Structure 1
Amino acid sequence: MSTTQARLSKDGLPDDTGAFAWLRALGPQGRRAFAGAFGGYGLDSYDFFTLPLSMVAIAAYFSLDSGQTGLLTTVTLVVSAIGGAVAGVLADRIGRVRALMITVITYAVFTVLCGFAPNYETLLVFRALQGLGFGGEWAVGAILVAEYASGKHRGRTLGAVQSAWAAGWALAVIVYTLVFQFLDADTAWRVMFWTGALPALLIVYVRRNVHDAPEAAAQRRESAEKGSFTAIFREDLLRTTFFATLMSTGVQGGYYTLATWVPTYLKTERGLTVVGTGGYLTFLITGAFTGYLTGGYLTDRLGRKKNIAIFAILSAVAILAYINIPAGADGLLLVLGFPLGFCMSAIFSGFGSFLSELYPTAVRGTGQGFTYNTGRAVGALFPTLVGFLATSWGVGGALVFGAVGYGLAVLALIGLPETRGRELLVPEPVGR
């Protein structure tokens, strides 16, 4: 008889501790929900990055200055706050899956329309409307999966969903490299937006195969309280809502500063070609994908707050190191791309589980949708500020504001409770 005794779970069965235990623990329905949320978020990322990657060509086509190009991103993120908040309420009222399909259709349609824009003003409007769907998809998809996941594995599970952002980003860079190599820039940026129709294929899968977690759906139907904005500002949730929004603002201000301006920085201040920029972004994106998965593991091991604090500090340090690389040291620029992508992505891995665990089932969609996307909207001021300051400071110098955002996130954590291990489908206390 073996002297090594198998670890048993609470139900007396052998405890699954394998690398993919989190995926097996979801069950068949949960894995289909995971696939739908992963695909939705990956294509959400793809559609978002069609703009930053095409920004130089768009600016040349419409004769835009850096402030106007920065505004294209800012308006997307600001309107995404509205879309995310509304999608959160819809998720609490009509269900997670139905809300997910609405968000995917919205961002796909308006991304395609951006490719037909005859002038800057029309492009600005279409990009703003794209933000309605873009803002809602992550919050709804994250909650859908979170309600299938156990407290033990939730960080890793949601970290894996979050890694879809890097996958979508990578796909956008591949398509960008090919399209801009074979087409002239004035046509290529439009084609990039037209490829944003890809999410239509996902809708077919979600409609046929994905369903809300049965226990969560039952709790939501039986609850007298339905999703509403006033509910997340009641006395017992006000503190949580305020500090969660502040945390989200800091992290996303730092992230979108980098996501928006690094491609332009590499081209205008480092003089890289389209292929060269794609090569450098490959290291950044590889770091991001690895960071999402690693951060998901650490948020289960260390706790939600520690994971966010550690990677906020490391992200700020990475930004400062990245923009202070001496001219001509392009090899060092390449090497530092990996830790930069790793740190600024690992911090997001705990968001899906943390925000889901801060709110009760009846208002979980509203709380997560509002805090995440309001933070995104306020954080969107950072890319615009960088755009206007770039004319005098240079893009590299202005990117320092991303580090300021990460500092703000660390301060916000003081006002939030640790939620590691909290189960979602039982009555849970909220607050400190």
Structure 2
Amino acid sequence: MTDSVEEPARGGPFAWYQAANKKVRRVFWTCSVAWTLDAMDALVYQYLIPIVIAAFGISLAQAAAIASASYFASAVGGWMGGWLADKFGRVRILQITILWFSLFSFLSGFAQTYEQLLVLRVLQGLGFGAEWAVGAVLLGEIVARKDRGKAIGSVQSGVAVGSGLAALLAGPFVAMFPLELGWRVVFWVGLLPAILIFFVRRGDDDSEVFKKNKAQREAEKRSVTPLEIFRLKYLRVTALAALLAVGAQGAGYSVSSYLTTFLQNERGISASTAGIFVLLNSVGAFFGLITNAYFSDRFGRRMAFRLFGLGFIIATSIYLCAPLGSSAYLLIPAGIVQSFCQFGLYGSFGPYFTELFPTEIRASGQAFAYNFGRAVSGIFIQGVAIFAAGLALNVSMTVMGSIGVLCALVATVLLPETVGRDLNELDEKRA
């Protein structure tokens, strides 16, 4: 059973939160703020790409390689962090990963060469790869199952706030400083999430379903290795969850990684104004994630992925390829709709992955699948840069994004529907 045992109140969009106990609320806010600042730090580099190119005198492909390497590192770090969370507890590892990615975000601001920045962003990726997955598992295990999509989806909406903050930092904020200093100050802000480690309680805030499973494993003197998720009985779910994560994130990063570059180079908009446009896009992103959170609890996880995926293809094609020129009156609403679909596509990752994997491999399975998607999305990021050498940037972004959505849709056909699944019953079936 979950830790949030009260029946949710009726009548309001936040009834689930009103019915939750103090533990659920504390974990919810810790995970929400951590994910917001995590997303801010991950996305701010993408928005800073034009400035990083100028500061270090590197090519677009080299700048994209840093983002790709960071996402690859997040796959390794996320997988290991998830396994450690299954072994030692969700809260302890959540604290460690928050501290880790905050520290290396801060240190990135001191890089003196391209190679140093590459190494520091790789180390940062090792930490932030596990933070979201471990937090989503923790919250998913303690909140009422009928509210799992709404709770974790609300946490996921922090990526929209983080995107807005990243746009502010990479646009108007960085413009306040000289070129050499501005991007450094932005990375130094990445130390802020470290204060969150004091708001969750090691042991006390771990879920009952995890404690029960851990006690059972200890009584049986049975250990779980990081490779457990690749055992034959789990391999199909692991592979398809990873494909879903590859497709959805590859689609999104094909656009977000080059959005400010597109607005500046192809729409003729200044860096600071492009930052404001991206900031306004985050309004659509926020509502897309919240809409998905409620939609998936009502109509199912797979349907949510499918509708938002199709919406992404249509909205992205219009935003990037329609003759909108540099008109704010056209670009801003088109960008808001595109972001609604793009970020809404991510909204069901947390509840869906929590319900796909049994407790003893839940964190490692979820962290691997999600972060494998992050890592392989580096291929999509690099693919846009490669195609852009012969095609227009907007066409390259649209093509790679559409390929990503098609991958995600294939995965939803082959995976089961899980909405409202009882996690204890899942453990009993897999025993």
Is 1:315 aligned with 2:309? no
Structure 2 unmatched runs, 5+: none
Give the 3-state SS of the residue equivalent to 2:346 in structure 1.
helix
Task: Note closer, same or farther for the CA distance 1:303–1:111 as it changes in structure 2 (3 Å cut).
Answer: same
Give the 3-state SS of the residue equivalent to 1:116 in structure 2.
coil
Query: Do 1:32 and 1:209's aligned partners in 2 also have CA atoms closer than 8 Å?
Result: no
Deviation at 1:344, TM superposition (A): 1.1
Is 1:111 aligned with 2:105? yes
Deviation at 1:229, TM superposition (A): 3.0
Give the corresponding residue for 2:59: 65
Pick from 154, 178, 181 the counterpart of residue 184 of structure 1. 178
Instruction: Give the alignment of 1:221-236 within 5 angstroms.
Output: 221-223=215-217, 224=220, 226-236=223-233
Deviation at 1:391, TM superposition (A): 2.8
Pick from 189, 209, 212 the counterpart of residue 195 of structure 1. 189
Query: Do 1:88 and 1:365's aligned partners in 2 also have CA atoms closer than 8 Å?
Result: yes
Deviations 1:224-251 (A, max 9, x none): 5544333212222111111111111111
Pick from 143, 147, 154 the counterpart of residue 153 of structure 1. 147
Deviation at 1:381, TM superposition (A): 0.7
Give the 3-state SS of the residue equivalent to 1:348 in structure 2.
coil
Instruction: Give the alignment of 1:291-370 within 5 angstroms.
Output: 291-326=288-323, 328-330=325-327, 331-370=329-368
Structure 1 unmatched runs, 5+: 1-10
Which sits farther off after the overlay, 24-33 or 127-136? 24-33
Q: How many residues align?
A: 421
Give TM-score scaled by structure 2 length: 0.93
Give the corresponding residue for 1:22: 16
Give TM-score scaled by structure 1 length: 0.93
Deviation at 1:172, TM superposition (A): 2.2
Query: Do 1:175 and 1:192's aligned partners in 2 also have CA atoms closer than 8 Å?
Result: yes
Deviations 1:277-336 (A, max 9, x none): 122112311000001100000001110111111111111111111111216252322211
Instruction: Give the alignment of 1:390-429 within 5 angstroms.
Output: 390-400=388-398, 401-428=400-427
Instruction: Give the alignment of 1:4-23 within 5 angstroms.
Output: 16-23=10-17
Give the corresponding residue for 2:126: 132
Deviation at 1:175, TM superposition (A): 2.9
Q: Give the distance between the partners of 1:209 and 1:168, measured in 2 at CA.
A: 29
The amino acid across from 2:415 in the alignment is L
The amino acid across from 1:385 in the alignment is G
Deviation at 1:337, TM superposition (A): 0.6
Task: Note closer, same or farther for the CA distance 1:325–1:133 as it changes in structure 2 (3 Å cut).
Answer: same
Task: Note closer, same or farther for the CA distance 1:362–1:226 as it changes in structure 2 (3 Å cut).
Answer: farther
Task: Note closer, same or farther for the CA distance 1:17–1:212 as it changes in structure 2 (3 Å cut).
Answer: farther
Q: Give the distance between the partners of 2:298 and 2:419, measured in 1 at CA.
A: 9
Deviation at 1:427, TM superposition (A): 4.0
Give the 3-state SS of the residue equivalent to 2:339 in structure 1.
helix
Give the corresponding residue for 2:278: 281
Query: Do 2:324 and 2:330's aligned partners in 1 also have CA atoms closer than 8 Å?
Result: no
Give the 3-state SS of the residue equivalent to 1:156 in structure 2.
helix
Give the 3-state SS of the residue equivalent to 2:258 in structure 1.
helix
The amino acid across from 1:235 in the alignment is L
Q: Give the distance between the partners of 1:68 and 1:277, measured in 2 at CA.
A: 22
Deviation at 1:39, TM superposition (A): 1.3
The amino acid across from 1:346 in the alignment is G
Give the corresponding residue for 1:8: none
Which sits farther off after the overlay, 16-25 or 82-91? 16-25
Is 1:384 aligned with 2:382? yes
Deviation at 1:221, TM superposition (A): 2.8
Q: Give the distance between the partners of 1:165 and 1:13, measured in 2 at CA.
A: 28
Task: Note closer, same or farther for the CA distance 1:406–1:12 as it changes in structure 2 (3 Å cut).
Answer: closer
The amino acid across from 1:186 in the alignment is E
Give the 3-state SS of the residue equivalent to 2:92 in structure 1.
helix
Give the corresponding residue for 2:135: 141
Give the corresponding residue for 1:218: 212
Which sits farther off after the overlay, 146-155 or 268-277? 268-277
Deviation at 1:382, TM superposition (A): 0.4
Give the 3-state SS of the residue equivalent to 2:345 in structure 1.
helix
Pick from 238, 241, 255 the counterpart of residue 244 of structure 1. 241
Task: Note closer, same or farther for the CA distance 1:12–1:57 as it changes in structure 2 (3 Å cut).
Answer: closer
Q: Give the distance between the partners of 1:12 and 1:363, measured in 2 at CA.
A: 27
Deviation at 1:100, TM superposition (A): 0.7
Q: Give the distance between the partners of 1:408 and 1:182, measured in 2 at CA.
A: 41
Share of identical aligned residues, percent?
36
Is 1:259 aligned with 2:253? no
Task: Note closer, same or farther for the CA distance 1:12–1:370 as it changes in structure 2 (3 Å cut).
Answer: closer
Q: Give the distance between the partners of 1:152 and 1:17, measured in 2 at CA.
A: 15
Task: Note closer, same or farther for the CA distance 1:23–1:13 as it changes in structure 2 (3 Å cut).
Answer: closer
Query: Do 1:97 and 1:212's aligned partners in 2 also have CA atoms closer than 8 Å?
Result: yes
